Amino acid sequence: MIMYAAAAVLVMLFLSSAVKILNEYERGVVFRLGRVIGSKGPGLILLIPAVDKMVRVDLRVVAMDVPAQDVITRDNVTIKVSAVLYFRVIDPNRAIVGVENYLYATSQLSQTTLRSVCGQAELDELLAEREKINAHLQEILDKDTEPWGVKVAKVEIKNIDLPQEMQRAIAKQAEAERERRAKIIGSEGEYQAAQKLSDAAKIIGENPIALQLRYLQTLREVASENNSTTIFPVPIDLLTPFMQMAKLVTPAPPAPTKE
């Protein structure tokens, strides 16, 4: 019985070291006597005990936070920039053989690249052209991590921390820009109103009857209001015929006599 039990234990140990199961998103890099014989998986993997050694590699996309980095921009502004990095392993063999720890190496490379790229840009460019900076970061990191079998899919600048004095300066600049736009819009409105008044004056000058129609419309608007006193502006042209008739009816004064 003791021999049977020992044999069963040996068989269990043999199976536990010889049989491996890999998930769909995993690959196993197999070393045989220290030499890489390739990557296997997913599913059931058979190894030679004491001869083969397997290292698991995850092929899923990794989202890695890049800590905030102190950056001096090209226009000498000190800021802190943080980002997030999305990458995955596309070649398990190179990810294990080409670098000691691809996760740590990718993290350190992303930090130094973030400082370098942001330091070459001005503050306005970082704030207004994030997509361009993100694309540049992704291109550089993808090229540098290719020998490690790592594919950088996307880089996003997450936050840009500005000094307090710079925040106040930007706020003043934005306020001045809004005031400038408000003045321009007001000036354009006054110009358009003056243009319309000039056009109306030309129409009235060419058609005098339009002035009479406008006068009657004004009387109607005044009469529609609840006022106790109504003032009727009368054009002098309406009184001219009556003044001429009065001159004809009124007798001329007698001529002075000489003594």
pLDDT tens across 28-46, in order?
Answer: 999 998 899 988 888 888 8
The answer to whether 64 and 107 are in contact (CB under 8 A) is yes
Among the ranges given (69-73, 96-100, 170-174, 240-244), the one the predictor scored with the smallest mean pLDDT: 240-244
Burial classification of residue 60, based on how many CB atoms lie within 10 Å of its CB (0-12 exposed, 13-18 middle, 19 or more buried): exposed
- Is CATH 3.30.479.30 the right assignment for the domain spanning 62-162? yes
- Residue 259 pLDDT class (50, 70, 90 cuts): very low
User: CA 180 → CA 125, 172, 176, 177, distances in Å?
Assistant: 22, 12, 6, 5
DSSP 250: S
Of the two residues 28 and 243, the one the predictor is more confident about is: 28
Q: If you average pLDDT over residues 103-116, what whole number do you get?
A: 94
DSSP 156: E
Report how far residue 127's alpha carbon sits from residue 121's, in angstroms, rounded to the nearest whole number: 10
Q: If you average pLDDT over residues 216-228, what whole number do you get?
A: 65
For residue 42, is the peptide bond before it cis, meaning its omega torsion is within 30 degrees of 0? yes
Residue closest to 56 by CA, chosen among 66, 47, 64, 65: 47
pLDDT of residue 225: 62
pLDDT of residue 15 exceeding 80, the answer is: no
Of the two residues 81 and 10, the one the predictor is more confident about is: 81
Residue closest to 144 by CA, chosen among 108, 92, 120: 108
- Output the six-digit token pair for 173: 């600049």
Q: What is the CA radius of gyration of the chain?
A: 45
pLDDT of residue 211: 63
Half-sphere exposure of 96 (CA within 13 A, CB side): 21
Beta strands in the chain (DSSP E): 19-22, 26-32, 35-40, 43-46, 52-58, 62-72, 78-89, 150-161
For the chain, helix, strand, coil in percent to 5 are: 55, 25, 20
